[in-house]
Amino acid sequence: MIGTTVIRSVEWVVGWDDDAGAHRYMKDIDVAFRGGDILHVGPNFDGPAEHEIAGAGLMVMPGLIDVHSHPLSEPMNKGYAEDIGNPALGYSGLYDYMRAYGPDEDGMRACAQAAYGELLMGGVTTLVDLSVPYDGWLDLLQASGLRGITAPMFRAAQWVNRTGHAVEWEWAEDGGEAAYAAALAVVDAALNHPSDRLSAMLSPGQIDTCPPELLAKARDAARERGVPLTIHAAQSVVEFQEMTRRHGVTPIRWMADQGLLAPDTIVAHAIFLDHHSWLRWGTRDDLRILAESGAGIAHCPGVFQRHGIVLEDFGRYRAAGIPIGIGTDSFPHSLTEEMRSAVHLARVSARRVEAARTADVFDAATITAAGLLGRDDLGRLVPGAKADLVLVDLGHPAMRPARDPLKSFLYSAADRAVRDVYVGGTRVVADGRVTTLDMASALDGVDAARARATPLVPERHWSGGSLDEVSPLSYLLVKG
């Protein structure tokens, strides 16, 4: 068993107040942990300790929880997806770039490792990993040191964009049964894995790519196993229009009618509700339906803000009583940047500062996210919780002055100030470097996957264009 570690006289601690049910700043106290659990958060820890860390110049906070991410592909999209948005398809990039350019299986492993490392360096200790099943997934996730929730995606239809202005759905002959079986095998393997850091949830890919019977089967399987269900819904104008064409009601209303919305459901994105300004729909019921169901949402502002798409708005959803967690979804795999974007976009959308405060998004990335996962031992620093914690360097130039260290961290320093990260009491980031993964090798693997994928773009993209035509470089390349 790992011996007791105590961080002495920590300058700032984001601790948990059980009586208030809230995070609280604490100063000049000790934080001690042993065997994966927190022992003490308070003054004068007087028990034996095998390891001592000086807490001067540090902020200790709970590890961040990323409730929605796609590590197996997104690192390869850097330099490709930033300027893509199809005006004929509600400016979504989903239907243009996803099928045209992506990693092969070796590339998936490299992308996953690169993303895991980036997340750890940013202070993420728990990750909901939405990937398609691939060989070695659980081994990679376990080796990373993250607390990983596998969410193997499955669906019965593929999006096809043949013309650039219309999306079609190509349905599998088996109704998605083979993909569902493969995903369920990963879920069960994760739930039975000897590591206590791995878990799982059911993840039908998108509300528009799964038939009702497959969704009902996934819902029942999740409840049988006592795990959440997560699904992409209300994420694009195209999807909203398709679901209303099929069913005559909004995606959120349809989910409620199917019994899919419940406290054990996480709706990914939930942007295009019936009140959204881009839509012309006759009801204004979706926020109330979501709130009454107890379902939460995974809010991932970064990937949508690239395309000019915004949730309307974070504060409005919270005021309605909807639990909101934060996810990275795409690159960069930085939850602090997502939290910053969530605050700023909420304020722009609502035209008021009160739409989101620092504490609101920090709660979303910690205690609220833990609740969405059904965990009361994550997202807080309190005796008995898991020893998932982040040590932030208050002396980093971007952190100074650290009058309010969370504000300095979220709005100025971000990941650069993360010094050490512990998951279950094990140090997985030391002095800003990941100790569990070979990041250089992983990034070399991503580069190699990019080189293999580039020649395939003309046959996969509806335009027939090359990668440089589909996603032009920022400036014209003049060759010497």
Q: pLDDT tens-digit profile of 10-64? A: 999 999 999 999 999 999 999 999 989 999 999 999 999 999 999 999 999 999 9
Write down the pLDDT at residue 93: 82
Query: Is there a contact between 92 and 81 (Cβ–Cβ < 8 Å)?
Result: no
Query: Is there a contact between 246 and 277 (Cβ–Cβ < 8 Å)?
Result: no
C-alpha dist (Å) from residue 148 to 66, 69, 116: 10, 11, 10
DSSP string of 301-333?
A: HHHHHTTT---S-HHHHHHTT--EEE--BSSS-
Rounded to 10°, the helix 177-191/137-144 angle is 40
Write down the pLDDT at residue 133: 95
Joined together, the tokens standing for residue 172 give 């599998």
Q: How many CB atoms lie within 10 A of CB 47?
A: 11
> CA 204 to CA 209: how far, in whole Å?
8
Give phi and psi for 164, each to the nearest 5: 95, -10
- Distance between start and end Cα atoms, the chain: 60
Query: 103 preceded by cis ω (within 30°)?
Result: no
Joined together, the tokens standing for residue 413 give 């320093």
C-alpha dist (Å) from residue 147 to 66, 114, 130, 199: 10, 16, 14, 8
Write down the pLDDT at residue 96: 80
> CA 261 to CA 180: how far, in whole Å?
20
Q: Is the pLDDT of residue 1 over 90?
A: no
Q: DSSP alpha helices (H): ranges in 123-176?
A: 137-144
pLDDT averaged over every residue in the chain:
96
Percent of the chain with pLDDT over 90: 93
Phi-psi region of 432 (alpha: psi -120 to 50; beta: other; left: phi over 0): left
Q: Is the pLDDT of residue 97 over 80?
A: no
**CB < 8 Å & 24+ apart, contacts of 46-49:** 47/4, 47/6, 48/4, 49/3, 49/4, 49/5, 49/6
Tell me the average pLDDT across 99-118.
93
Full-model pTM: 0.97
Write down the pLDDT at residue 480: 78
Give the distance from CA 301 to its chain's centroid.
10
Q: What is the pLDDT of residues 173-220, one digit of tens each?
A: 999 999 999 999 999 999 999 999 999 999 999 999 999 999 999 999
Query: Is there a contact between 159 and 99 (Cβ–Cβ < 8 Å)?
Result: yes
Q: What is the largest CA-CA distance in the chain?
A: 70
Q: What is the pLDDT of residues 346-374, one digit of tens each?
A: 999 999 999 999 999 999 999 999 999 99
Please name each of the domains of the chain with its CATH number.
5-62+382-433 (2.30.40.10), 64-372 (3.20.20.140)
